[in-house]
Chain A
Amino acid sequence: MVRLIPADHDGAAHGHGTGHDHDDHPHAPGHGAGHDHDDHPPGHGAGHDHPHAPGHGAAGHDHDDHPHAPGHGAAGHDHDDHPHAPGQRAGDRTVILQQKVLAKNDELAQRNREWLAKRGVLAVNLMSSPGAGKTTLLERTARELAGKLSLSVIEGDQETALDGHRIRAAGAAVVQINTGVGCHLDAAMVAEGLRALDPPGGSVVVIENVGNLVCPALFDLGEQARVVIASVTEGADKPAKYPNMFRQADLVLVNKIDLLPYVEFDVRSHEADLRGISPGALVVQVSATTGQGTQAWYDWLRRRAPAPLD
């Protein structure tokens, strides 16, 4: 199950009341018919269980073409009318589909991308293994860029709103998405997150993906840039072990660089491996804890941030 938890307690990020125009929201498929948005404004309080998974509409819900969110299993459906275990027989006919499995996600990602471009919002997909320092970096970034850059965050975790609360405490608007059994964010979840976050033009949305160096690499969210954090405590072999993740990085942040004297981490072999996997990626050494090197990350973000539209 996907739960959307607005960690933004005071609702500051979102004037989501009456008269709010939803027409320019990146709605997930199937989302809309009979769905009353005034029922659950973001800022509704912690632990709020969003009753609708992305793509999960209310009235007029048609299961035949309904793109189920990950983790949305068969349980709960009424399948009594299904003919079970058909088995294959001689009279069966072949239907050619030639359809990409991720076509639905890619289509939604493209919709997110167009929505972001129209609004003038930069979305960055931030990925790493668990514990590499994504949230710590974003906390520092929110504090140090306050007043200089409008930053909001979509937090993805399997469970808890802990990270969402940390980001909120650091001063940025945030929505927390819990993926349940899901090991990554997908484009439908991000559409729902963007809808709740309602980021202003000229701002930056960082999508903190579920900590995982494997699955998030496969799912386009509609972001304009991908940033991967590799921390020195993880060891230098991670790019070589998880090439799919590092291949598509625009920026690799080598975090916890302050711990370099205490761990075995060969900076040169790490960078050589990265060059061999992602020749175009920019590599920057940072410490989210001490602040070392973070200026280069801020500069990178601000260079890409769109100009405010007004």
Chain B
Amino acid sequence: MNDSLLKKHLNLYSEQLKSRRLWNILIFTIFVLSFFISSSIIDFNLSKIIEGFPRLGDYIVKILPNIDYNLIFENSKTEGSIKYWYFNFKKYAALLYETFNMAILSTLMGFIFALLLSFLSAKNITPNIYSYHLVKRFLEFLRGVPEIIFAILFVWALGVGPLAGIIAITIHTTGALGKLFSEVHENADLKTCEAIRSHGGNWASEMRYGIIPKVLPNIISYALLRFEINIRASTVIGFVGAGGIGQELYLVINFNYYEEVSAIILLIVLTVITIDILSGRIRQKVIGEMGD
């Protein structure tokens, strides 16, 4: 390679390096600036962390159960056994069951509403463009507001209890699933619909026989994914009085029944993980069996 060519390339390289360095410095400064601005806004400093962590440690030690490994299988009267820790197990199980049912009901209702609205908000199959924009904005609003805010509203209107939570989660689910479903519809092949139209089918039968069979596996797998999310949501929506095990957890935390806190949290984590695994299996099966 001759010298001048090498020089040219070296110059080009160093120029590129320079501009890249400039960009990196700029981005770095922006990061540092926003770091300091945010820390000053939320009052983030080291002394607070140093002060707070021992208290956090104390709290965690307090809520952890006092289990004695020699007495672990004793009855519920002996301190140190699992039965003593979970003396309230029947109540928890009933509440977990209620939470599970809340998630089921709100997922199913949200699924139905979302499916009905998604045909209107999919660009390729919507009957007219106004309903498309209207429904799309409506769904955006439904999923934009956090479900716990809806829950507070419905606790005002319907009173304390699972009903408020169910309606709140249903609303959020409708918004979230409606968007996903209409995206699935938008990716669907429309040839079947054309065939149905050419045989004199109306819009409803186009949707029923042309779209649904094609999108069903995807839709069901999205609904299952939403069910997992709703299980999580319904465990915490009780914090505002909207039913489920969250209501009990909030109570227990506020009354400082320390060991019950860890008992309930452990149950929630186990439930969430179990349902995630089960529903993941089913999802794979649904996609595998109906996908082709």
On whether the two chains bind one another, the answer is no
Interface residues of B (CB under 8 A from A): none
